[in-house]
Structure 1
Amino acid sequence: MQFKWNYEPPTPERQKAAKELGEKIGMSPILANLLIQRGIKTESAAKRFFRPMLNELIDPFLMNDMDVAVDRLNDAMGRKERIMIYGDYDVDGCTAVALVYKFLQQFYSNIEYYIPDRYDEGYGVSRKGIDYAKETGVKLIIILDCGIKAIDEIAYAKSLDIDFIICDHHVPDEEMPPAVAILNPKRPDSTYPFHHLSGCGVGFKFMQAFAKNNGIPFARLIPLLDLCAVSIASDIVPVTGENRTLAFHGLKQLNQSPSVGLKAIIDICGLTNRELTMSDIVFKIGPRINASGRMQNGKEAVELLVEKDFRRALVEAGMINEYNEQRKDVDKQMTEEANSIVEKLESQKHLSSIVLYDENWKKGVIGIVASRLTEIYFRPTIVLTMSDGMATGSARSVAGFDIYDAIKSCRDLLENFGGHTYAAGLSLKAENIKEFICRFQAYVNNHIMPEQTQPILDIEEVIDFKDITKKMQADLKKFAPHGPCNPKPLFCTRNVYDYGTSKVVGRHQEHIKLELVDSRSSNVMNGIAFGQSAAARYIKSKRSFDIVYTIEENAYKRGEVQLQIEDIMPDTQKKNEK
């Protein structure tokens, strides 16, 4: 993949501001400049960024309908009504259900949870789930991470004398369901200051309000923050504002005292005795929780997350790990098939998007395949399959392009759709697929910018190896947790050389393990360049090249700096670009 390097040198004014801020907070101007680029320009703002405080969380009652939701929950508990906690089958939904169920179970026993079957019931509120609630005497359903578009289903529940409280974060339609309360910071009339909570985050705010209303100490909520961190990392929401606070303290909880279920997953992942990061959640913990809903039923993931016995949790985590292995096999096969189709479709080359349909693909894995294709071809992608007589699809996007709006433009062809800027789901009749593909691709062609179809590395600072000190490495850790809107800082060093000991490594000789020097110091820096072995011959030629990288701690040698190299630009390429 050919990256475009994007770098804007700091102006003299910003250099001066970075120097002054750095002196106040005891950091190098390099890192102070990173803060300024994140909109943090004062000493007090920097302190809040590095040490977000739980007592600064937003008042949950600023969210529309929160007072109504708390009153209805209090009424249900006062009347001994049966309550169902209902949620989506992905990581965000399962963690949200586990969080609300675990908290309320401490004070109320007439409660259960429900996760719809992806293959039997589909996404969101199902009539089967409502019928089950009616049969079991449920009077109140708290639905998490879905429900904002379930107008007919919630009206049906209302006709059966079942109330709904919606806790969602997906974009609402013009008409909203007839629920008792709708907690959603993306409501068009939202008065809540932060709009980017995860579904689990909305559930947490509901429980925070319930606790506040009933005089329950906030400290009773802290053990649940590990679930918030898992949801924030897995659902790819911005790690800013309130999400940063929840993720910061959630990671602290995950590292120091994780719940029984999450501790079992950590052990199964081989992450024990390591300092866990958001990346560990994204690549290790999250996929295992997701695999339950993809391959079997998400209810098994919730059972694990609410488990109190560690031995049983290990058995359950082992089963979920097996689902993940099965998911990998299916994912690999489908991605290879999809890649083969894209390569054969000459007509795709001039289009700005990819839409593929195969009625035999597994519904639970199409989202992962869409993500893979987006990464490979850097174009908005939709992967469709057939499920219960309806074409069902998952969509993924590239940076800066709103795929939800693109799908919405074809809404008259759809039976259902929902999601976010970068990920969405949809369903439509098979006879509408051809027209949908034409119209969707036309919309993308007309709205996407050329720079959005090329992978870009946004370089924050150009530095020399002498700038990389142990203090800088320690200070960089304070910028975590990372995620959208607070990515790991990308640095560039120009004119570096092989020290003479760099070599190709990996099972298929696909990576390069590097030892590098630059032209301004004698510091030898270790680095790893994953999947970039094609550059090895040039590197060994002793000619100079530029690198873009993140600064990491060596996983095997604590305290030692290692550069994770994202891209390598040979001197010959630089001359060609000029």
Structure 2
Amino acid sequence: MRWTLKPKPPKEKIEALKSVLSIDDVVATLLLQRGIETFEDAKKFFRPSLDELHDPFLMKDMDKAVTRIEKAIANNENILVYGDYDVDGTTSVALMSTYLKSKYPLVHTYIPNRYDEGYGVSYKGINFALENDFTLIIALDCGVKAIEKVAHAKSLGIDFIICDHHRPGNEIPDAVAVLDPKQEDCNYPYKELCGCGVGFKLIQALASKDGQTVDDLTQYLDLVATAIGADIVPIDGENRVLAYFGLMVINSSPRPGIKAILDQVEKTVLTITDVVFTVAPRINAAGRMKHGNYAVTLLSEEEEDKAKQYAAEIDEYNLDRRETDKRITEEALKQIEEQKEQERFTTVVYDKDWHKGVIGIVASRLIETYYRPTLVFTRSGEYLAASARSVRGFDVYNAIEACSEHVEQFGGHKYAAGLTLKEENYEAFKQAFEAVVDKTIDRALLTPEIKIDYKINLDEISPKFYRILKQFAPYGPNNMTPVFMSDNLIDTGYGKCVGADKTHLRITVKQPDLSSNSFVGIGFSMGDKLDVISSGNPFSAVYSVDENEWKGNISLQFKLRDIK
């Protein structure tokens, strides 16, 4: 691990913020690192308000989208709500369809099959619309690159409204409306909405025409918060507001489908991290192992008993997904070991029998072992399909784009992308991708980095300090959990390996001469560091501060990231 201590903000800024907010150096520094420099900034950060959400009509084409939907309702047209099969797509479809159905009955949903249609808008989906007399398709979390398919639909008399958040290509589809804040000529003030967030802006605009405000739409925010967490978009600006209020809905009055999932995991209060690691994988499992329709059905269900039944089915898919991704990860690691004849700057693996639904997870797992931009390929019909994942600081989307002569289709983000290519182009692509990464990647990025917010003494960590830290949530990109570093730590003699297989580390540390406080620290998969802390020599640790509840007692503990 590379430890990088973030630079301290200018002293005058720290002093000014301390004075206006009556806080200490540590909190002032943490806030300034997050771009919070004034009392007004801090008020928005600590007390998010739905009033801060932007006018949806600031988004390019929003007026056209609303007009077309109103026309469809007035003319009794059939409306097809179409979305991708991942969490962002299925939550988007559940949000849009349940909202529209609350005011109009002729609404149907469509999720493409991951295996025979692939990602995004498909010809099969358009044919379904044609055969069933749908004249308007609202595409969510996809569509901004579907030039030919949207043109084909138009030639058949089917209009498209696209709600997407992926980077557009050089050409924009000829749809009635394209809602995507990442379009260069879109002046919407916030660019980092997820697909479900763009869908929410559309229902916000539609509701405003009925005299409703955003306060009348809070019931949909559990879906938006789930998508924000799962899609790993920045949790700042508008996303922070949507996630904050969405978590309130999840923890107080979630829709029956989400409540049925929460009942399975027996959590009392969920954070955005819990949403990412407990709710999202179950929703995703439907599209990975069976069909995304199952997720939409669960998230749209209004009866609790039925929702419990659907959630139980999806939980089974999730168990299957876990077993499958574990097996494939082991096979991929073995393949990499066999290929290690030379130093490579990428990891590219392929097996025709790997399950397409889990290759994205496998790519992420491989990065945990071999920290390289990674692609995992499998066969998908007549093509090979891959999921790409990247290391922090490297744009894998741009790297794939530089190899596009070998690629049939690709799309995605800086850190996660997907592509298809012909099998005969696999080796050429693999070599081109390696060459591009070799030429463009900063070698330092090939070692995992821990960014440290503040070097702190143990006596600065108190229950009051932690109460303030908790208000920094929800955490995510651009507002990560604060990470601290402390030097001259000594284990008090209670350090040991814990867990069923003794792979985790539990320590109790003090900082002699500097603090009388002692803290317990837990380091998952850090059992190999036991020798470092039990030698009797002082050591340094990087960690976040957490709460531990045991037999009704709550105490502060460290969640260890690394030890040296």
Instruction: Map 1:506-525 onto structure 2 (within 5 A).
Output: 506-519=499-512, 520-525=514-519
Distance in 1, matches of 2:369 and 2:11, equals 37
Aligned residue in 2 for 1:42? 38
**Higher mean C-alpha deviation, range 499-508 or range 226-235:** 499-508
Asked if residue 297 in structure 1 is aligned to residue 286 in structure 2, the reply is no
Deviations 1:54-78 (A, max 9, x none): 1110111111100000000110011
- The offset of 1:358, in angstroms, is 1.1
- The offset of 1:9, in angstroms, is 5.1
- The offset of 1:548, in angstroms, is 0.3
Aligned residue in 2 for 1:566? 561
Q: Which runs of 5+ in 1 are unaligned?
A: 570-578
Asked if residue 532 in structure 1 is aligned to residue 532 in structure 2, the reply is no
CA contact (8 A) 2:288 2:357 kept: yes
Find 2:497's aligned residue among 482, 504, 511.
504
Asked if residue 449 in structure 1 is aligned to residue 445 in structure 2, the reply is no
Aligned residue in 1 for 2:488? 495
Find 1:6's aligned residue among 4, 7, 10.
4
Overall identity of the aligned pairs, in %: 47
Question: Counterpart amino acid of 1:543?
Answer: N
CA contact (8 A) 1:15 1:33 kept: no
Tell me the SS of whatever aligns to 1:123: coil
Seen in structure 2, the aligned counterparts of structure 1 residues 16 and 500 have a Cα distance that, compared at 3 Å, is farther
Aligned residue in 2 for 1:325? 319
Question: Counterpart amino acid of 2:559?
Answer: Q
- The offset of 1:360, in angstroms, is 1.0
- The offset of 1:393, in angstroms, is 0.6
Seen in structure 2, the aligned counterparts of structure 1 residues 9 and 112 have a Cα distance that, compared at 3 Å, is closer
Deviations 1:222-251 (A, max 9, x none): 111111110011001111111111111111
Aligned residue in 2 for 1:469? 462
Aligned residue in 1 for 2:383? 390
Distance in 1, matches of 2:424 and 2:148, equals 24
Find 1:433's aligned residue among 426, 435, 442.
426
Aligned residue in 1 for 2:263? 267
Aligned residue in 2 for 1:552? 546
Find 1:308's aligned residue among 302, 305, 324.
302
Asked if residue 95 in structure 1 is aligned to residue 72 in structure 2, the reply is no
Tell me the SS of whatever aligns to 2:485: strand
Question: Counterpart amino acid of 1:517?
Answer: K
Question: Counterpart amino acid of 1:237?
Answer: V
Question: Counterpart amino acid of 2:8?
Answer: P
**Higher mean C-alpha deviation, range 529-538 or range 66-75:** 529-538
Instruction: Map 1:115-264 onto structure 2 (within 5 A).
Output: 115-264=111-260
Tell me the SS of whatever aligns to 1:195: coil
CA contact (8 A) 1:386 1:392 kept: yes
Question: Counterpart amino acid of 2:346?
Answer: S
Aligned residue in 2 for 1:575? none
- The offset of 1:17, in angstroms, is 2.5
Aligned residue in 2 for 1:341? 335
CA contact (8 A) 1:362 1:385 kept: yes
**Higher mean C-alpha deviation, range 61-70 or range 410-419:** 410-419
Question: Counterpart amino acid of 1:430?
Answer: E
Find 1:108's aligned residue among 93, 104, 110.
104
Question: Counterpart amino acid of 1:71?
Answer: T
CA contact (8 A) 1:291 1:320 kept: yes
Deviations 1:317-352 (A, max 9, x none): 1111110110011100100011111122124x5221
Distance in 1, matches of 2:90 and 2:369, equals 29
Asked if residue 280 in structure 1 is aligned to residue 277 in structure 2, the reply is no
Deviations 1:390-446 (A, max 9, x none): 011110011111111111112222111100111101001111111111111111111
- The offset of 1:27, in angstroms, is 2.3
Deviations 1:33-52 (A, max 9, x none): 00111111111111111111
Question: Counterpart amino acid of 1:416?
Answer: Q
Deviations 1:126-185 (A, max 9, x none): 111111111211111100001111111111111111100000011111112111100001
CA contact (8 A) 1:498 1:540 kept: yes
Aligned residue in 2 for 1:573? none
Distance in 1, matches of 2:357 and 2:166, equals 20
Aligned residue in 2 for 1:81? 77
- The offset of 1:499, in angstroms, is 1.4
CA contact (8 A) 1:27 1:475 kept: no
Distance in 1, matches of 2:180 and 2:371, equals 31
CA contact (8 A) 2:50 2:214 kept: no
Distance in 2, matches of 1:538 and 1:286, equals 37
Question: Counterpart amino acid of 1:464?
Answer: N
- The offset of 1:269, in angstroms, is 2.1
- The offset of 1:537, in angstroms, is 2.6
Distance in 2, matches of 1:288 and 1:303, equals 13
Question: Counterpart amino acid of 1:226?
Answer: D
Find 2:370's aligned residue among 377, 401, 408.
377
CA contact (8 A) 2:50 2:215 kept: no
Distance in 2, matches of 1:469 and 1:85, equals 50
Deviations 1:430-482 (A, max 9, x none): 11111111111111111111121111111111111110011100000111110
Distance in 2, matches of 1:152 and 1:9, equals 49
CA contact (8 A) 2:411 2:417 kept: yes
Question: Counterpart amino acid of 2:351?
Answer: D
Deviations 1:523-546 (A, max 9, x none): 111110111111113322322110
Find 1:24's aligned residue among 4, 20, 23.
20
CA contact (8 A) 2:384 2:422 kept: yes
Tell me the SS of whatever aligns to 2:515: coil
Tell me the SS of whatever aligns to 2:130: helix
Question: Counterpart amino acid of 1:105?
Answer: K
Instruction: Report how many residues are paired.
Output: 562
Tell me the SS of whatever aligns to 1:551: strand
Question: Counterpart amino acid of 2:299?
Answer: L
Aligned residue in 2 for 1:410? 403
**Higher mean C-alpha deviation, range 146-155 or range 388-397:** 146-155
Distance in 2, matches of 1:283 and 1:95, equals 16
Distance in 1, matches of 2:95 and 2:11, equals 45
Question: Counterpart amino acid of 1:451?
Answer: A
Q: Which contiguous aligned blocks of 4+ residues in structure 1 show a shift greater than 3 angstroms? A: 555-559
Aligned residue in 2 for 1:574? none
Distance in 1, matches of 2:262 and 2:66, equals 34
Distance in 2, matches of 1:62 and 1:451, equals 41
Q: Which runs of 5+ in 2 are unaligned?
A: none
The TM-score, its normalising length taken from structure 2, stands at: 0.98
Distance in 2, matches of 1:559 and 1:77, equals 54
Distance in 1, matches of 2:51 and 2:89, equals 26
Question: Counterpart amino acid of 2:226?
Answer: V
The TM-score, its normalising length taken from structure 1, stands at: 0.95
Question: Counterpart amino acid of 2:167?
Answer: V
- The offset of 1:553, in angstroms, is 1.1
CA contact (8 A) 2:486 2:540 kept: yes
